[in-house]
Amino acid sequence: MEVATIRIQKPAISSEQFKVSLGLTPELMELEPDSPIASENELKLCKTAEGTNLPGIFSTLDNEEPSMEGWITHKMQCLPVYNTQYLKMKEHYLRSAKPPRRVKPLNHIVKNYKPVSSHAHNKDDCKRKDGSKMLSKDNILDLLFQAFEKHQYYTLKDLQFITKQSVFVLKAILKDIGDYNKDPAHKKMWELKEEYRHY
């Protein structure tokens, strides 16, 4: 059975390569009509790089030892011609590769987690950012005096948490109204100056 025809076209310019095409016969195409293949193909000649080992061609007859027939100096790549038939073939294979959609019955309840616009940790960050807004000196003084009414001594970290102000702002205000203790009993703690105390 004839399966294909090779056509060799001479180039117009001698420096160019020969155009070689491979066309499959209609008899071959009709063998499996459900799985289409490209009937028109282009054969591109590729010369093997110098210095590489050339593969050899051997032949055997019955039980005789293999005999050397020759060397492969050129290779040919078979590339399908980009036409409507080739596109139909690609479409067929892509559709057959995708699994068909099927309906599966569910015997148990599926938990659906709705998307949340703002998570808990983001809310905490927002609270911190809102809380760390710069207050006026009078507001900070009010907060400090309210705190010192409850306790006599505070660390700078505690006062920062109560007022939600920066360390630099607090230190500047505390130098005016407070004393920094160096006694072992209340070391590294702040208390109000005598003129501001009423206990």
Is it the case that residue 130 has pLDDT exceeding 60? Answer: no
Q: Kindly provide the b/e burial profile for residues 151-168, where b requires at least 16 CB atoms within 10 angstroms of the residue's own CB.
A: eeebeeeebbebbbbeee
Domain-wise residue ranges, the chain: 4-48+55-93, 137-196
Is it the case that residue 127 has pLDDT exceeding 70? Answer: no
Is it the case that residue 129 has pLDDT exceeding 70? Answer: no
What is the rounded average pLDDT of the residues 65-91?
84
Q: What is the model's pTM?
A: 0.36
Is it the case that residue 68 has pLDDT exceeding 80? Answer: yes
Q: How confident is the model at residue 126 (pLDDT cuts 50, 70, 90)?
A: low
Specify whether the CB–CB gap between 2 and 23 falls below 8 A: no
Share of the chain above pLDDT 90, in %: 1
67 vs 15, more confident: 67
Q: Taking each helix axis from N to C terminus, what angle separates 137-150 and 156-163, rounded to the nearest 10 degrees?
A: 120
Please state, rounded to an integer, the average pLDDT across all residues of the chain.
82
CATH architecture assigned to 137-196 = Orthogonal Bundle (1.10)
Q: What is the dihedral of CA 191, 194, 197, 199, to 10 degrees?
A: 100
